[in-house]
Amino acid sequence: MSFSLNSIRMGGKEVLPLIEGGKGVAISTGASSGPWAAAGGIGTISAVIADAYDEHGNVIPHDYMGKSRRDRHNEMIDFSIRGTIDQVRKAWEISKGEGHININMLWELGGAQKILHGVLEKTKGMIHGVTCGAGMPFKLAELASKYGVHYYPIVSSGRAFNLLWRRAYKNAADLLGGVVYEDPWRAGGHNGLSNAEDPTKPGDPYPRVLELRKIMRKLGLDHVPIIMAGGVWNLKEWKDWIDNKELGPIVFQFGTRPLLTKESPISERWKKKLLELKSGDVLLQNFSPTGFFSSAIKNSFLGELVGRSDRQVDFRTEQDEEFNTEVMVARKKYIVRGEDAAKIENWVAAGYDQAMKTPDDTLLFVDADKATEIRKDQKDCVGCLSQCRFSSWADNEKNSTGRLADPRSFCIQKTLEDVAHDGNIEKNLLFAGHNAFRFGSDPFYSNGFVPSVKQLVDRIMTGD
């Protein structure tokens, strides 16, 4: 079967309609995005707590010295700015100044706008576009206009884009480089599932993307590419989308496949793990401190979070007809339903003898070591999110969400930093898309073959 793929004009430059998806905290680096851009596609660098280098080319550790969360939050912003600038320069050098380089920002990152300003001021002429998701980035167009770069909002519905356009983007139409439709069921990392959508019932992306295109047509944006992200493994499976007049110009984003390349900075253990995955080994869950659903590889880290959340009961401070049983846990009294008292007794007997309150008037049961770890992680918060359900940090005057810290979640900065720097792949969060199991069955990766970025792009260009 023959397969052809034409280039497309994006961000004022002719490129292959292939984008490397951004993966935060030192995963989407200049080392991988530079070769992707050099191969003719769009390389993407994550601006989320990126790694900077010393004069010898060694990664500078992110050691937080501030005594307050606000101090550490400001350090995190500085780390992100310095690191992203270094990564952009590296990608620029690898692509010899000819490649198309975008940066990706988690809009819910604490200080996201400060980081983008800091990076774009120092990288003029090297960055073509800014991609933003995980939130509603209303200020994105204004920021892009200031620095003369294109912008690429990430949405999971036409309705979301319509709101962004009418409230903010219509004033910077000429710099809209593309609209990323990120499938909320199949993409890796954080997902944009709405309250009206069932996480267990994936929707067909075609009608959702078509709805987005219809909205864009009404707004005079038929020429602006839609970038299909999430669930894209090879292009032969999407041939009906290519040169489809109903959908208009379509570009494809690959987030998971670039993890397994020679240039990818993830550990060899992580790469080996990808080759061993089976169908169903990626879990869509809502433990993230961002409040968003996210998709990650099943391992002991996720297993512990599932088990932790299962050891949970409602409680009250005063008795009523339903909550009529008093229990004693670690010398504290709680009032629970009668049927829950036996569960608590069994959990305590099994060593889960520490009761932690959640913001939803439930008690969570963990062992002493986990309780100590949770409290320490909450105390050591670096303010990496604009609002964090785990630590109750918020990037506001009070530095607080006003809600109780939630022990059902985790410190995302801690685990992503660790796994990005050769940490344990069983005891950390491993983001991945739901097609990651295909590494093990795709003949391209036979006998443990790990391609270079150029080899991967060439493979994708054949349709496989």
How do residues 316-355 score in pLDDT, each as one tens digit?
999 999 999 999 998 899 999 999 999 999 999 999 999 9
The chain-wide mean pLDDT, for the chain, equals 95
Hey, what are 63's tokens? Answer: 């050691």
| Residues 448 and 415 both lie in one domain | no
Q: How far apart are CA 62 and CA 189, in angstroms?
A: 22
pLDDT at 11: 81
CB distance 278 to 41 below 8 Å: no
Average pLDDT over residues 356-371: 97
CB distance 456 to 441 below 8 Å: no
pLDDT at 23: 92
- Residue 155 domain-assigned? yes
Helix (H, G, I), strand (E, B) or coil at 450: coil
pLDDT at 2: 55
Give the CATH number of the domain where residue 46 resides: 3.20.20.70
| Residues 270 and 344 both lie in one domain | no
- Residue 61 domain-assigned? yes
More confident site: 441 or 192: 441
Residue 330: alpha-carbon gap to chain centroid: 38
pLDDT at 1: 43
Residue 271 has pLDDT above 60, yes or no: yes
Hey, what are 49's tokens? Answer: 């707590």
Helix (H, G, I), strand (E, B) or coil at 313: strand
**Rounded to two decimals, what is the model's pTM?**
0.94
Pairing of strands 293-297, 312-314: unpaired
The band of 134, judged by pLDDT with boundaries at 50, 70 and 90, is confident
| Residues 308 and 203 both lie in one domain | no
| Residues 252 and 400 both lie in one domain | no
Residue 228 has pLDDT above 50, yes or no: yes
| Residues 100 and 212 both lie in one domain | yes
| Residues 221 and 324 both lie in one domain | no
CB distance 383 to 76 below 8 Å: yes
| Residues 224 and 370 both lie in one domain | no
- Residue 315 domain-assigned? yes
pLDDT at 278: 97
Average pLDDT over residues 16-27: 93
- Residue 295 domain-assigned? no
Residue 302 has pLDDT above 50, yes or no: yes
- Residue 286 domain-assigned? no
| Residues 316 and 195 both lie in one domain | no
| Residues 225 and 348 both lie in one domain | no
- Residue 93 domain-assigned? yes
* Distance between start and end Cα atoms, the chain: 11
Q: Output phi, psi for 104, to 5 deg.
A: -115, 135
| Residues 446 and 414 both lie in one domain | no
Q: CA nearest 297: which of 390, 200, 426?
A: 426
Average pLDDT over residues 443-449: 96
- Residue 255 domain-assigned? yes
pLDDT at 365: 98
- Residue 292 domain-assigned? no
The band of 288, judged by pLDDT with boundaries at 50, 70 and 90, is very high
Percent above pLDDT 70 for the chain: 100
Number of domains in the chain: 2
| Residues 390 and 310 both lie in one domain | yes
pLDDT at 200: 87
| Residues 199 and 255 both lie in one domain | yes
Average pLDDT over residues 67-81: 97
Spell out the residues 6+ positions from residue 69 whose beta carbon is closer than 8 angstroms to its own.
381, 382, 383, 391, 393, 399
Query: Which residue range(s) make up the domain with 85?
Result: 8-274+442-461
